[in-house]
Structure formats: C-alpha cells, structure tokens
C-alpha cells in the first residue's frame, strides 16, 4: 500500500466525504464491469457495488486494509459476487422444486384453485417475450439452463438472470392476487 493510499484510508476513517466520493467515482464503473463478468446482470452488479461502497463507508472505522485499495475493492466485490451466486443457487434449488411441484400436479388434483392457475398463465404471458419463453421452457417443458441457452443462442447467465427476474415478478403478482407469499 502506498503512502497516498494510507492517507486516503485515514481520511475515509475520519469520514471525509470528498475522499469517499473520489474513490467511488474512480472505482464504481470498473467494479460494475468486473462484477458483470460474474453475474451477467447490470442492475444486480450496480446494486452489489453500491452495497459494497455503503459497507466500505459504514465499516471504515474498523477496516484494516493491508493491500492496495484497488486490490481490496476488487477482491471484496469478487467475494460478494461469489456469495450472491452461491445464494442464488440455493434459492433457485428451492424455487425450482416448488414451481415443479405446481407444474407437475395432475389435472384431476384440485389442490390449486383454477383461478390461480389461470392467473399464473396470464402472468407468464405478461412477462417480456424472451423472459416468458425462458420461463416456459424451464418450468413447463422441463429443459435445463444449458439447453435453453443453446436453443435461444444466449448465455447460461442470461437464462439464470431471466429466470430469477421472472420468478420475482410472478411472486409479486401472485402475492398481490392472493396475499399469500409464494416461494417462487
């Protein structure tokens, strides 16, 4: 770590907003691009990097950085990306099991109100075209992420992101309809 960086970190610990803004302006765009290499979702990357900077600012009193600021920032963002990917995989596993259980119900089973099934179909139809198609291939046709990506000529990451967003949209719509918090 250079002397200049030590001075900058000291100023951050003193809650010097100008120094924080300088670091934010310098590193935010490159950290977002870096995070995109992991998450393939610009909005999620922007949120993640903003969260990192908030944590950096609020936890600055207790931080003990021994590497360069740049190395610390990139390593921190990388770890946050890996954590998010891990969390999404766990969450996706549970969501997939739930959605599959809804989809695989035999027609003679009356476990789900026909109005809710109709609403689910309408909600899926209301998604953006690509998102709707990805959701249908995954949950109605049972295709794997890699197969969907190959069929549509897009990356696995894009498929995962679109599925994540579709589930969030559908979860909100179903909650609005039923006031039941579905685990989509």
CATH number, domain containing residue 155: 1.10.10.10
Q: Are residues 50 and 112 in the same domain?
A: no
Q: What is the CATH number of the domain that holds 17?
A: 1.10.1740.10
Q: Is residue 119 part of a domain?
A: yes
Q: Is residue 94 part of a domain?
A: no
Q: Are residues 70 and 10 in the same domain?
A: yes
Q: Are residues 54 and 123 in the same domain?
A: no
Q: Is residue 183 part of a domain?
A: no
Q: Which residues contact 125 (CB under 8 A, 6 or more apart)?
A: 132
Taking CB atoms within 8 Å and a gap of at least 24, the contacts of 78-83 are 78/34, 78/38, 80/35, 80/48, 80/51, 80/52, 81/35, 81/38, 81/39, 81/48, 82/38
**pLDDT confidence tier of residue 78, bands split at 50, 70 and 90:** very high
Using one digit for the tens of pLDDT, what is the confidence trace for 132-151? 999 888 888 888 999 999 99
The number of domains in the chain is: 2
**pLDDT confidence tier of residue 172, bands split at 50, 70 and 90:** confident
Residue 22: the pLDDT is: 92
Parent domain of 20: 3-85
Residue 183: the pLDDT is: 47
pLDDT at 112 over 60: no
Q: Are residues 34 and 79 in the same domain?
A: yes
Report pTM.
Answer: 0.50
DSSP code of residue 16: -
């Amino acid at each position: 770590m250079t002397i200049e960086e030590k001075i900058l970190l000291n100023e951050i610990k003193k809650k010097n907003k100008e120094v924080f803004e300088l670091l934010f302006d310098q590193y935010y765009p490159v950290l977002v691009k870096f995070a995109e290499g992991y998450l393939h979702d610009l909005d999620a990357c922007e949120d993640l990097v903003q969260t990192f900077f908030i944590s950096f600012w609020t936890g600055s009193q207790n931080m003990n950085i021994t590497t360069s600021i740049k190395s610390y920032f990139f390593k921190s963002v990388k770890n946050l990306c890996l954590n998010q990917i891990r969390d999404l995989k766990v969450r996706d596993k549970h969501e997939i099991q739930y959605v599959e259980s809804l989809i695989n119900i035999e027609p003679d089973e009356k476990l789900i109100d026909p109005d809710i099934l109709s609403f689910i179909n309408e909600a899926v139809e209301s998604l953006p075209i690509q998102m709707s198609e990805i959701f249908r291939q995954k949950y109605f046709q049972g295709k794997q992420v890699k197969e969907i990506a190959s069929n549509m000529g897009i990356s696995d990451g894009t498929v995962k992101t679109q599925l994540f967003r579709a589930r969030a949209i559908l979860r909100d719509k179903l909650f609005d309809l039923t006031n039941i918090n579905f685990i989509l």
